[in-house]
Every structure is written in structure tokens, then in C-alpha cells.
Structure 1
């Protein structure tokens, strides 16, 4: 039985409303809603034929494709727990996620099979996602559609959504059908997602934003979705122009080079009406350049984290003019507070930790009761994000609590320093961290990728024009690239470790 409030139930209702409408385009394949819904049922049957049982975990190790979506929704319809794995992970990191989740099977892109074999996993069942005769895609694309004898409840786990692990080992956030359906509804309402949007999906589906804020909500409203294997910038620009696409979500790490790409000035992007980006790492100078180049394009600022599905707040286009640095207000199903170290509410304008209460929240961390208890305290989930909130409920991200720099006993938000350095024309990317210092406790240190020649002294002089003296970087390192995971998140812990070894 398929519950109406399950993840796959949302696709089933779209198929009932719009059976012949195009649901998904990928490569040279096109799926109507009816075809996609039937393929999900077949995919669920394939997974159950492998001997998997309700509640078993199924790891998926692949790039974006229609087969990847079938894996996720097939797991949902079969009562299994989907475990998305970053396709850039190899070796011990890959093995850890499969072992920690207790996955009984792995679905894999054939091109990634060598990395899977090299990880020496103790998993008996491995099935190709696509590009093979016996793959999940091939078997789900043909044959009869049998009724499934599976009772799926909205309280069942549907995904272990592993955190990015920017500060520690990844933890598996236990997402239920109910939590993700609430998240999809918050996304639809908060981002004005409609069936006429014609969205392009270049960002990885193993990440919660690409799958749960955009692709799944757009399937729920009945839109026609254009899926890319990876966020290739020339291809993004080509598809927007040639297909007249209207909606685009990109991480700031893709928006930045897209705005600087030579094709950006020559492609006709006038069809675009909705642009979405993530809050805390979007450089304000880059956003202003995009707004100037595309004045008809509305920008939505999305903020949250994996444990909440991940959308928690939204800044709408009409709110950008007055609050361009804010990440907006809470979405439909999220209640939030900003608290101090004792758990007491802080006054408007003062920095504190944002905590959440929401049906979108995960059930806790898989196999980690102590970490779960530490994050869920007094009925609220503690995010680890340092923010300010004004009297109207608009949040502004100050930093991750662990990224605030204690220099000489004074706290400095790394983001404030980064935004100033981004205004220098030679700066392509920048990350600011604290490094150990005998005099200052931590020295404000900038790691900069440049696009034209510049010296550290010139960058320091530039920062002094806008920042108080204690906020100005005491050290600047010029590098070729910044370490990031495939979600686009900056790995500041890697920078700290590398600079500690250098220093």
C-alpha cells in the first residue's frame, strides 16, 4: 500500500493529474509522469527481488541521472532506506558511509565501479544504476507493472542523509517520509515553485538541496524538469538559452564562475525568471553583479542544513533590496529561536545560535545516541549556526559557531572579512580562518585564490579601508584553489590543518 503522505506518493498524485505531461528530461531520454511513476514501481520491485526487506539500507553511488531518481523513489516505494553517497568519495571515506549505514546493497554507476571495488566493501549485492543490460534503469523501463505488497508508513525512514562532515565524521540524519514531505511543502510555498517554471537541475542529487528543495518539490507540483549529470557552466548556459528555461538553482561556487564565464555575456538568458542560491557562502559583491546583469531575474536566498531537510529560511526577491545580507525568515513548517549558551533568547540584533523545532527535522543521527542527545536539547535542534535576528524575524548569518575567530579576546566573524576581500577586483575566491598565534590566540588569516596578479600587502591595504584594525587579516596565503566537498561547502578544517603544518 502506498501512503498518500509518503515521498513517492507525491509523484503518484502528479501522475494522476498530469499522466501525459513531460516530467523529466535527461540526456536523450524523456519521461512522462505516467511513465516515471510506472518505472518507480518497477524499480521498487527490482530492489525487493534482490532479497531486500523493509527498512534495509541501500547505498547509491552515482552521478545525476534518471536512474538515480528511480533509485531514490524506488527505495521509497519499496519501504527501503536510501543512502546517497557523494560520487567524489573513494577509499576509506566511501567504505565508512557504507559500513556506518549498514547498507545491504549498493547501486552504482558503472563508471564508478572501479572506485567501489577499490574500497573493498563487505556488501554482497551490487547493481548497476544504468548503462548495462541488467541495470536498474533497464529493468525499470520495461515489462509489466506489478502491484507491490508493501505497507509503507509516513513514519518510516526513507533516507539516511549524511552531513557534509566539514568539521568531523559525517553523521547519518534519519529522514522519514513525513519529514521530507513537510520539507517539500515548505519549499513549494517558500520558493513559489509552480508547474510552469521549467527548472534546470545541474546540482548533485546526492545532496539534500538538489533533491529535496528543488527536484522533488518540482515533481510534486507537476513541472517539467531538465536534469544534468553535472553543473557544467557552458552547458548550463546553452540549455537555458536553447530550451527557454525559467528556473535555476546553483550553489554559490557555481554562480561565481558562471557570472565570470565569457559565455555569460553572449548567451540569451532572458527566459530565466527564478534564481536560487545558498545563504551563508554567497559573496555579496557577486550577487550584486548577477542582479545588475539580469534585472528581470528574481533571486531567492535559501538557508538551512541537512538535518532539517534542508530548507529552514528564505529571503524572497522583493526583500533583497532592503535586506541583501539576510537569509530571510522561517519557512512554512519551521519554528526557530536565537539563543545564547544557556538556551535563553537573545535580544534582536545580538548574535546567538539558531535552534529549530519542525516536523521537517530528522529523527536523530543513525547509530549515534550521544550526538543525537547533544543536538536535540530541551525540545529544540541546535544548529551550530551563529546568526542575528531582527524584530521582524529576519535572520542574518554571522558564521558557523566553530568558524568565529577569537583574536586577542575579541570575536571576529570570518564572513565579514571575506565579503570585504571579495570586493577587490583581483580576488576570485577567499576563505578566512583563525590560525594559532602566541600573541593573538588566533590570527585572522585569509586564504585567497586570485584571478590577476596581486600581493598580500595590497590585499591587506584594501581590507584596512573597510575593517577595524583587529579584523584585518594578519596573514594572507595565495593558493590555486580552495578545498571543497562536492556539495560546494568550503572545508575550513582542511585549511586549518594544512596551514598548521605549514606554520
Structure 2
């Protein structure tokens, strides 16, 4: 690799060099240091390479949140292979479409999801791994090769991940993300989201989705934070984890924040360690904002808004504006320019409804194998989100 390489696969190695003994990931009974996680990623990457997985190959990840997902994600990035996270709630036909459209030649599936995976995977999916055990699938635990890091040259704009997003259309589109777009997005998250290496983060929302994976988990690894992986967004488990691990940081959509507030354990658990909270996907009801402020007075709350095509962060509503800018998605993030335009792509006046468009290094390379939809989305040098918005009088 070149001396100037800066890709997703490099982030973990650098954090392991800075914080070798620090706990990187906690999942169930697994507590793994940065040095040990880095070593396991190398071994997994080399095992995949021995099975023929190479730079540019598409490889599907079909699983709930777990330690294996994290290892496989970074191992694929080290090889320059293109990871394809798949929603674990999809059925066989929907998964088959993503596998076929992406041209996936490999797949790692959770044992509980194997009935869907087996029904969806065609003959092109020749490398098959399972988190657990199943006949005809190699156990992920056996994917262990040499200790040395694979030497693969990966450019900033080489595709590194396909995130499938359906939007309002029947067929999902593969947003093609590069290390360059993701790293620019991580910088925006870190700076505007006030993230640091001292964070102890709860990751309870699905890692197949760009919000948890790219706004929180990978920036956390980038910084050298401690990452608490939960299999799902169960309120009791989230609250117990905050107390038990003295977590400082939590992302949830408004529905999960409301479930936490309503859970009987909310007042029984010691949540005093929590310092930063984040939400997205929809606007937080004003009464819930006030309740969070009253019951978690030391928590700084942020609203992250964006699209998969923006990797995904576009704008941030900061803590000081939560109650003064009710209903707002905030202001453009550090590396983003945002406008609201009319049907002729002209900026509209404050108070006028228009389409939200962005210009940013966060933006995807395009839609996988779909130049027409890519051209439609990128017009005049801006990404057209399809979302409607209104500009505040002060911008």
C-alpha cells in the first residue's frame, strides 16, 4: 500500500497503534482490545483472500448486530472488497434481488437467518460463511489466516460499500460509497457531533443501516472509543448497558427514545454517565425533547439528518437549538453545503417550500450499475435528495 493511503481499512490499524490495550468492542461476553480486534481482522481478511475474495468483489453481510459483523466489515475493507450490508428483515426475493443486482460472490449470514439466505443465494455466491454452524456453510469462527495485514492498494474513490436504499421506488438502489466519501462524513460527525476517544458508545440500532454504522460505530473506531454492541434496540438492555458499562453516548430514533423514557427501568437505572444523545430518521416531538432535557439534564442532544446517498450525514441540529428551532433538521454539517431549490434548481426565498439539495465530499459515487438514476440525482453539481424543506429566515 502507498504511504498516503487513507481508507476504511486503515482506521482500525491506526487506532490499534495508538490505543493497543484499550477496549475497542464489547459484545456479550466478548471484550476485545484494539490490538486484538486488529489482529482478528487481519486473520479474517487473509482467510477470505485464501477463498478468492479480492479487491472489488461484492460480499454480503446478512446479520443482526454482533461481533462477527464488525470483524467482517473491517476485514473486507482491508481487502478492498465491497461490503453489501442487507436488512435482516427482508424476505428471500428481496435479498435475492440485492445479491443479484450487486453481483455478490460471497455472503456471511447469521445462523438464525439461514433459511432466507439459502433461499436467496444463487450459484454466484460461492463463498458462504455462517455466524454459528450449518451444513454447507463455513463457520465464521474458522475464517482465520495469517496475522499480517493484507497489502492491497486502495484509492480514496474506489468503491468500498454498497448501501441499498429503496426510497419511494419498488426496486432498491445501491448507493456506492467510497472511503473518501465516508471519511469526509466521519470528520463532520466527529467535529459537529462533539465525539472523542473518551466516548463509551452504545450501538443498538442495526449496523446494516448507514446511520448506526457510519455516523457512530466507524467514527468511534476511528477515534479509539469503546463500542458496546447490542443485538437490538431492547429498552431494558440499553438501559442496563448504560448503567453497567458507564456509557457516555447513545443514538436512537425518536421511537426508541420514547420507549426508553416509558420503560420502568428508566428511573431505576443509574444513567448519570450519559453525556451525549443523538436522534434521527424523524423530528422529535417537542414534549419528548422537554422530557429528555428534564430527566437527563446533563445530556447534550443532537439531531442528525441526511440520506444514505450522503453517507449519510447532511445537517445537524445542535443541542442549543433543540427547543428554539422546533421541527428543524438543523444547519449543514462541516463538510456539506445545503440549499432549498425550486423546480428549476434555483434557490428559494426563506419560508418557501422546495427540494433539499446538497454538495459535499460525503456524497456517494453514484447508484451501482444505474447511470440514468445517478444522472437524475446529480444535477448542476448538487445531489438532489427528493426531500422537501423550508429555509429559515437566517439560513
Q: TM-score, normalised by structure 2?
A: 0.94
From 318, 324, 328, give the equivalent of 1:316: 318
In the alignment, is residue 267 of structure 1 matched against residue 269 of structure 2?
yes
Q: Does residue 1:302 correspond to 2:308, yes or no?
A: no
Task: Give the whole-Å Cα distance in 2 for the aligned partners of 1:391 and 1:265.
Answer: 40
Structure 2, unpaired ranges of 5+: none
Match of 1:77 in 2: 78
d(CA) in 1 for partners of 2:112, 2:127: 14
Indicate conservation of the 8 Å contact 2:51/2:127, yes or no. no
Aligned counterpart in structure 1 of residue 337 of structure 2, from 335, 338, 359: 335
2:139 counterpart residue number: 135
Relative contact order, higher structure (CA 8 A, sep 6+): 2
Q: Count residues with an aligned counterpart.
A: 391
User: Equivalents in 1 of 2:261, 2:169: separation in Å?
Assistant: 30
2:280 aligns with one of 278, 281, 292: 278
1:387 aligns with 2:386: no
**Per-residue deviation, 1:276:** 0.3
Q: What does residue 68 of structure 1 align with?
A: 69
How far 1:287 sits from its partner (Å)? 2.5
Contact 1:110 1:128 in 2 (8 A): no
Question: The residue matched to 1:265 in structure 2 has which SS?
Answer: coil
For the Cα contact (< 8 Å) 1:22–1:33, is it kept in 2? yes
1:132/1:138 contact within 8 Å kept: no
Contact 2:99-2:121 at 8 Å conserved across structures: no
> 1:30 is paired with a residue of what secondary structure?
strand
Which runs of structure 2 are paired with 1:196-215 in the superposition (5 Å)? 196-215=198-217
- 1:126 CA displacement: 4.1
CA drift of 1:268 comes to 2.0
Unaligned 5+ residue runs, structure 1?
394-503
Aligned residue among 351, 354, 357 for 2:353:
351
Counterparts of 1:324 and 1:17, CA distance in 2? 41
* Offset of residue 148 of structure 1: 1.9
Q: Which residue of 1 aligns with 2:154?
A: 152
Measure, in 1, the Cα distance between the counterparts of 2:165 and 2:328: 24
Query: Deviation per CA, 1:370-391, whole angstroms, max 9, x where unpaired?
Result: 1111111111110011111224
Cα separation, 1, equivalents of 2:83 and 2:33: 24
* 2:183 paired residue number: 181
How far 1:91 moved relative to its partner?
1.6
When residues 337 and 165 of structure 1 are mapped into structure 2, their CA distance, relative to the original with a 3 A threshold, is closer
Residue of structure 2 equivalent to 1:169: 171
Question: Under a length normalisation based on structure 1, what TM-score does the superposition of the two structures give?
Answer: 0.75
Instruction: Provide the residue aligned with 2:57 in structure 1.
Output: 56
Q: In structure 2, do the counterparts of structure 1 residues 120 and 211 end up closer, same or farther at CA, with 3 Å as the change threshold?
A: closer
Deviation at 1:138, TM superposition (A): 4.4
| Partner-residue secondary structure (3-state), 2:131 | coil
Q: Give the greater-gyration-radius structure (CA).
A: 1
C-alpha spacing 1:10/1:147, structure 2 compared with 1 (3 Å): closer
In structure 1, the partner of 2:97 is 96
TM-superposed deviation, 1:281: 4.1
Structure 1 residues 243, 257: CA separation in 2 closer, same or farther (over 3 Å shift)? same
Distance 1:364 1:280, change over 3 A: same
Distance apart, 1:132 and its partner CA: 4.1
CA distance in 2, matches of 1:332, 1:290: 26
**Matching of residue 254 in structure 1 with residue 256 in structure 2:** yes
2:366 is paired with a residue of what secondary structure? Answer: coil
Partner of 1:434: none
Contact 2:26–2:228 (CA under 8 A) maintained in structure 1: yes
Aligned 8 A contact 2:132 2:140 in 1: no
Quote the residue 1:459 is aligned against: none
SS of residue in 2 equivalent to 1:58:
strand
2:143 aligned counterpart, secondary structure = helix
Contact 1:127 1:136 (C-alpha < 8 Å) held by counterparts: no
